[in-house]
Structure 1
Amino acid sequence: MQEILRKGLEEMIMKEALKKVLPLVGSVAMLAACGNGGNKANKEAGKTDHNGVAKFNMKVEHEGKPIKGGELRYALVSDDPIKGLFNPALCQDQSDQDVVNFMFDDIFIVDSNNHLTNDGLAKYKVDKDARTVTVTFPKGAKWSDGQPLTVDDYIFTHEFIANKDYPGVRYPSSVGPLVGAEEYHSGKAANISGIEKKDDQTVVLHYKQMNPSIEISGGDLLSYVIPKHVYENIPMNKVMSHDASRKNVVGNGPFKIESLIPGESVTLVANENFYKGRPKVDKITIDVVSSKNIISEMKNGNYDIAGMPADQYDAYKDAANFSVIGKPAYSYSYIGFKLGKWSNEKGANVMDPNAKMNNKKLRQAMAYALDNDQIAKKFYKGTRFSANSLIPPVFKEYNKDTPEYNYNPKKAKKLLDEAGYKDKDGDGFREDPNGKPLVIKYATMAGGQNDQTLALAYVQFWEKIGLKVELTTGRPIEFQAFYDKVEHDDPEIDVYSAAWGTGTDPDPSGLYGEHEKFNMTRYVSDEHTALLKDISSDKSFDEAHRKAAFDKWQNFAHEEAFAIPTLYRTGITAVNKRVKYYDLVSGSEDTKARLYNLQLTQSKPVGE
């Protein structure tokens, strides 16, 4: 085991899974807000704090006078082709969402604290007592095809997601809390009664309960819109494959599709109808680039912007032709335990009392068996660090006092003994409490030349405490196939490694709620549901109550161990020195950081 870690982890190139795992609302994309400091970004690159965690500037401003127009080259780092589903209500992985963000603009701009503002396309007003939100659209707004964009499109977007035949994963999030949404979704009503149209520019949304995150990006107020005139006549069983969702995309963002090579590249041009005016660059080319090639591609000056692999940080942190910036990510890696199945009939997750992993002490033991701190320090060079909670520390709701499953094989063995998992035939592996052979099927994603190394390291960690663990399919699984198996509760998966981008709303209900398809562990309990409801209750408008509710949930999740957080992440971005300004965290206060204001100082990217 230790030999694998010493030789393998330091050189392994693991898939950047986070970039492909979709948050509830697409607000974690690299270019949601784009890169001050002269060329100061690289001065911080390479430094670490007292815990060995790398320090980064989060924005950069390069020297040079901006040119007019130009083509920006964007590397979408992925070891798999992109699916090419470019609809914000349908796309299900981060790679597609990264492209969507160029073509669809959120109707509400957020500030640097991720709170919604009235600086975007639409305005909103919350009435907590009446449990309503009034949303107003301006006159004259247009889609990229020149058609009017009105409140009817916003209403349609809600109905699209709540449709009983909707094939996506966003119901009930954002739409479910509306009065009448459940009746519409079940086919008992012709419309959503809680949506009250006042005129072509104004709609009043009535909520069953006012969630404290209503004014947070990614919360209960839907912040994107799709074109009614395009989708109203497309059958739901065809929307996923229809050209309207893949190549003839009509959006409200700063850019629109000019051409594409499915799975490989997308060429975008400026949207002349964008409500903020024509973008400052003429064209954006997005190419899929593998994690093992991205460093050389950036150093050779082939691209302007790229998310960089953390495990190769030392190879590019001092690059001459691009700046390295980073920020704590709204994300975490985790180990998930399969505890049931999704029921289409009930529209809910259903626990299986006979599931192999339905023993809390078994799950806790497997958590204590993993040395995540060693993996983070030896492999990720300070760009990852071990995790204790399913709420990342980038949120103020994070509880630093939630216990962590620190590496403790002795405690892991004790837990297994107490639960009745003992080696009764002397073969070195434990049988289950009934004396039957126990083989745990573990699934992990492929991507990178040494993905097998980390997978085998995990298997050997578990073997060290007497558990026989085998890789599902015998090897790491390609990304799309992996999530297809996990989402469809493949019986050959008992345990899996994955990652979540949480979005900018810390409420965990959308990832772990009873009625959420994203809850891929399928864990459900009355106490768990009550804790999640408390987080989003009226009482949680009081910040002290909300913080206490989050603390209780984090401690409960730790104890129940349905999902074990393993590593927190720093998102690292390379920005070529011809990109004038780029910022990873700017909000509505900094308009020059917006996509439509990206500027270049030379006609081509700078090479080393």
Structure 2
Amino acid sequence: MTRGSMSKGLFALMLLLVLVLAGCNNDGDSERELASIDDFEHMKTNEGEAIEGGTLNFGLVSDTPFEGTLNYNFYSGNPDVQIIDWFSENLLAFDENYNYTQEGAATFEVDEDDQSITFTINDALNWHDGEPVTAEDWAYAYEVVGHPDYDGVRYTQSLSSVEGMPEYHDGDADEISGIEIIDDKTIKFTYHEFTPSLLAGGVWAYPLAKHIFEDIPIEDMASSDAVRQEPIGYGPFKVESIVQGETVTMVKNEDYWQGEPALDGVNVRVINPNVVVQSLQSGEVDAVSTFPPDQYLDNADMSNVEYLGIIDNAYTYIGFKLGTWEDGEVQPDPDAKMADVDLRRAMWHAVDNETLGNQFYDGLRWNATTLTPPSHPDYHDETIEAPTYDPDLANEILDEAGYTYANEDDDYRTDPDGNELVINFASMSGGDTAEPIARYYMQAWEEVGLNVQLLDGRLQEFNTFYDRVEADDPDIDIYQGAWGVGFDVDPSGLYGRNAAFNYPRFASEENDRLLAEGLSEDAFDVEYRQEVYSEWQELMVEEIPVFPTVYRAILVPVNNRVHNYGASFDKFPEAQRHQIAVTQEEPFVADQIDEVEEEPEPEGEEDEADEE
């Protein structure tokens, strides 16, 4: 008889989960009803009549000041872009699958034979100082971000795919041959790499005001007043004043290309993660940039807000080290400790991710199946049967693969050659749930006879974790990470043979073929591309270089006085910031406000961090 799931170890595991749940939930009731992403609308319910004007208060949730690099072409951190999005915007609009539509401030025509896209900027689009947004401004953004003196992070594959951009970036050309300004409002980009990704978030569509920046040296632009003190955009609101790192005050842009905004203005202020709930209850803020899902059930009945929800473009995963990174290419190691796919499959069957999502996140994270999350409904293949929790099957797989017990009384299995098998597990510190979740996984694997030990006997600090994972530290056999997948579903930047972010160091000819097909000319046919990426998702379920653990919900609580607010202003055409309105001057206050004393956030606040 194999060592089953009803052992003393399993009892300890279940006790651990119950204790964690009791600790995380104020009422200690492990039987309370769970939440589901299906419970939430993505647009705010409009109750009452909107007034003219009013000011929205937006809470930027952070335990540190925002950096204040307030321009799309130079920012690097999420807090800054949360601010930028209020006063500027992408020239191109998206549908729910993040494909470009013709509803944005620029329309476009695609010429596949010429490998080019021609864009026309709306005649009504002006910078906040009244100057028109021109094709020359758009070209100037490419000239700055692609310049050798530029030291930011915005030079990406999509920019480098423009004809002549690599030569310009390397300093071998003075201009970018693939950019043609046809007239003041029309620009043509020609690509030496023309892929379907270009039409799914792959075009850099953030002009740079040349009349403001042209006299500033490129290396000084990011620190200039034009970025830090007086940022300019063309969005529905414009910056009036900044208290660096703390607040940004904006007023409406009466000249906005889609019409005058309904609000008079927006105030952005930093609020500490410890007081998010209290700030919402008191009406100090009308909405926040992020809300912790593990606090939802305790505050689901907050009387003055409505919760919106959306599926995050992300998944958490367990990765297996299968090789190394050498000279810009993955080098698989057939002798790696985790090279046996049967071992990896058994480890997937051994963990109960659905219960984990319920216990630690009250149902707002749930069992993941493939590496294309359901945030991209046209590409996520829900028909694929991925391994699910089945410890008996995990034991059977390990037995048949030769991972056996040397002696009847042994607690742990040996490898197929009879050698001791110890698997080193790297996981990040941060938040109340980080350590219990890591302990859960180790206990679950112990239940099927695998000796999995926490790397160095402790959780790794954020920077140390990534330094060691990226460097292929030989002491790491498996690790827990998370990916934010971006707008385009192309996974080659994460799992391609030449992708530095391919942390498991997995490569195969079949993987190469499918990734190439997903970017081929044939893949401009959406149905063909869907078939390719369905095959790729199936391949990853079969090969298991990593396995996804949970998908995530994003919750957006919004004060009841607010109209027309969306859980996402990128994904849904009906969510437009210039249409946000309020029904009264002052926010609604909750019936009952919790009194808390603000305490310093513990080091490593996040339970996990996106790797991209």
TM range (shorter): 0.7 to 0.9
The match for 2:10 is none
CA distance in 2, matches of 1:241, 1:357: 46
Name the count of aligned residue pairs. 566
- Is 1:432–1:438's contact at 8 Å kept on the other side of the alignment? no
1:603 aligns with 2:594: no
The match for 2:61 is 77
**Aligned with 1:67 (options 51, 67, 75):** 51
- Is 1:10–1:378's contact at 8 Å kept on the other side of the alignment? no
The match for 1:22 is none
Query: How big is each residue's C-alpha offset from its partner over 1:26-70, in whole Å with a ceiling of 9 and x where there is no partner?
Result: xxxxxxxxxxxxxxxxxxxx897xxx7642222223333333433
Deviation larger for 509-518 or 317-326? 509-518
Deviation larger for 485-494 or 593-602? 485-494
**Aligned with 2:311 (options 328, 339, 342):** 328
**Aligned with 1:405 (options 374, 379, 387):** 387
- How far 1:171 sits from its partner (Å)? 4.5
RMSD after superposition: 3.8
- How far 1:372 sits from its partner (Å)? 0.2
The match for 2:556 is 573
The match for 2:545 is 562
CA 1:589 to 1:376, structure 2 compared with 1: closer, same or farther past 3 Å?
closer
**Aligned with 1:383 (options 344, 360, 364):** 364
- Is 1:111–1:589's contact at 8 Å kept on the other side of the alignment? yes
The aligned runs of 1:135-534 (5 Å cut-off) are 135-139=119-123, 141-163=125-147, 167-169=151-153, 171-216=155-200, 218=201, 220-228=202-210, 245-260=227-242, 264-271=246-253, 274-276=256-258, 278-306=260-288, 307-339=290-322, 346=328, 357-394=338-375, 395-413=377-395, 428=411, 435=419, 438-447=422-431, 449-464=432-447, 465-471=449-455, 474-475=458-459, 477-478=461-462, 494-534=477-517
Q: Report the structure number with the largest CA radius of gyration.
A: 2
CA 1:63 to 1:542, structure 2 compared with 1: closer, same or farther past 3 Å?
closer
CA 1:334 to 1:437, structure 2 compared with 1: closer, same or farther past 3 Å?
closer
- Is 2:316–2:482's contact at 8 Å kept on the other side of the alignment? yes
The match for 2:520 is 537
- Is 1:113–1:587's contact at 8 Å kept on the other side of the alignment? no
CA 1:486 to 1:299, structure 2 compared with 1: closer, same or farther past 3 Å?
farther
- How far 1:183 sits from its partner (Å)? 3.7
CA 1:53 to 1:202, structure 2 compared with 1: closer, same or farther past 3 Å?
closer
- Is 1:119–1:588's contact at 8 Å kept on the other side of the alignment? no
CA distance in 2, matches of 1:123, 1:534: 27
- Is 2:56–2:267's contact at 8 Å kept on the other side of the alignment? yes
CA 1:471 to 1:263, structure 2 compared with 1: closer, same or farther past 3 Å?
farther
Between the aligned residues of both structures, percent identity stands at 35
Query: How big is each residue's C-alpha offset from its partner over 1:368-409, in whole Å with a ceiling of 9 and x where there is no partner?
Result: 332101112333333222010111224221112323231233
CA 1:467 to 1:473, structure 2 compared with 1: closer, same or farther past 3 Å?
closer
Q: Which runs of 5+ in 2 are unaligned?
A: 1-12, 26-32, 591-612
- How far 1:576 sits from its partner (Å)? 0.3
CA distance in 2, matches of 1:138, 1:251: 15
- TM norm structure 1: 0.80
CA distance in 2, matches of 1:380, 1:438: 30
- Is 2:357–2:365's contact at 8 Å kept on the other side of the alignment? yes
CA distance in 1, matches of 2:410, 2:62: 41
CA 1:568 to 1:507, structure 2 compared with 1: closer, same or farther past 3 Å?
same
SS at match of 2:310: strand
The match for 1:553 is 536
CA distance in 2, matches of 1:239, 1:488: 32
1:7 aligns with 2:43: no
The aligned runs of 1:6-25 (5 Å cut-off) are 6-9=18-21, 11-12=23-24
CA distance in 2, matches of 1:469, 1:132: 53
- TM norm structure 2: 0.79
CA 1:442 to 1:483, structure 2 compared with 1: closer, same or farther past 3 Å?
closer
SS at match of 2:57: strand
Deviation larger for 357-366 or 378-387? 357-366
- Is 1:76–1:286's contact at 8 Å kept on the other side of the alignment? yes
The aligned runs of 1:576-595 (5 Å cut-off) are 576-584=559-567, 593-595=575-577
- Is 1:304–1:579's contact at 8 Å kept on the other side of the alignment? yes
1:104 aligns with 2:106: no
Deviation larger for 427-436 or 252-261? 427-436
CA 1:229 to 1:109, structure 2 compared with 1: closer, same or farther past 3 Å?
same
Query: How big is each residue's C-alpha offset from its partner over 1:316-361, in whole Å with a ceiling of 9 and x where there is no partner?
Result: 2222111122233333222234556667x74x66656776655544
- Is 1:162–1:172's contact at 8 Å kept on the other side of the alignment? no
Deviation larger for 143-152 or 388-397? 143-152
SS at match of 2:101: coil
CA 1:533 to 1:300, structure 2 compared with 1: closer, same or farther past 3 Å?
same
CA distance in 2, matches of 1:106, 1:562: 35
- Is 1:176–1:182's contact at 8 Å kept on the other side of the alignment? yes
CA 1:590 to 1:564, structure 2 compared with 1: closer, same or farther past 3 Å?
closer
The match for 1:29 is none
CA 1:519 to 1:168, structure 2 compared with 1: closer, same or farther past 3 Å?
farther
- Is 2:138–2:205's contact at 8 Å kept on the other side of the alignment? no
CA 1:535 to 1:164, structure 2 compared with 1: closer, same or farther past 3 Å?
farther
CA distance in 1, matches of 2:391, 2:497: 32
- How far 1:518 sits from its partner (Å)? 4.5
CA distance in 2, matches of 1:472, 1:293: 34
- Is 1:53–1:385's contact at 8 Å kept on the other side of the alignment? no
CA distance in 2, matches of 1:541, 1:550: 13
Alignment-mate amino acid for residue 236 of structure 2: P
* Structure with more contact order per residue of length (Cα contacts < 8 Å, sep ≥ 6): 1
The match for 2:101 is 117
CA 1:252 to 1:340, structure 2 compared with 1: closer, same or farther past 3 Å?
farther
- Is 1:335–1:563's contact at 8 Å kept on the other side of the alignment? yes
- How far 1:238 sits from its partner (Å)? 6.1
- Is 1:12–1:453's contact at 8 Å kept on the other side of the alignment? no
CA 1:229 to 1:482, structure 2 compared with 1: closer, same or farther past 3 Å?
farther
CA 1:325 to 1:139, structure 2 compared with 1: closer, same or farther past 3 Å?
closer
- Is 2:305–2:560's contact at 8 Å kept on the other side of the alignment? yes
